Amino acid sequence: MKRMRRAKKAKLNNLVKNQKLPILTLDSRWHEIFPEEEKTSEIKDLETKLNDLLRKQGKLVNEVKELKQLKKNLMGAIVANMEIDSSPAGKVKAKKQDRNKQYILEINEKIEKEMEELSKLPYRIREINEELLVESVTICYSRIEKQVEEINEVSDWILKTREKLKEKILLKQDMELRNTTMYSYMHDLLGAELMESIDKKHFHG
């Protein structure tokens, strides 16, 4: 059974590989199919991994944006203080310029490092998203198969109950007809007046 499941998953993996897929944990339809109480441990694990990667991507994008803005500000400060003389104030300015240049080098290194990390994240996100899709589809098909079995059972029950209901309706109609026939026979035999007296005594105490 497990081997069959693995084989099915492998086929599914090949089918979804590099397809344009929505990010499942950001899709409301996925959350409708998998409410919290119906998530398996595998689904929860993959969901956490995917959300962590998405958070990391968002954090890195913001950090790079902030670093670029900081670099722009430092570059502006360097350009604004280009004229340096040998006075004490000039020496202070020169030190500040050197420090700003050093900051820019460090920022460049950090931007490069974070951009490299950012470039790898979409592949990892896609990979985990594909894994989550395969697991989700496997569970959905398993649930559908189980529901089909239950639907068939319910259909059989409905069919049997319908037949029994027909029998009971026919039995009821038959008994009603017999009652009507008997009453009609007694009415004809005994006459309306006597029947009325018997009715009152028999049915109304």
Position 204 scores a pLDDT of: 59
Buried b (16+ CB within 10 A) or exposed e, 69-96: eebeebeeebeeeeeeeeeeeeeebeee
Give the span between the Cα atoms of 79 and 82, in whole angstroms: 5
**pTM for the full predicted model:** 0.70
Position 11 scores a pLDDT of: 75
Q: Is the pLDDT of residue 3 over 60?
A: yes
Mean pLDDT of 136-164: 94
pLDDT more than 90, % of the chain: 64
Instruction: Please answer whether residues 27 and 47 qualify as being in contact, where contact means their C-beta atoms are separated by less than 8 angstroms.
Output: no
Q: Is the pLDDT of residue 2 over 70?
A: no
More confident of the two residues 181 and 7: 181
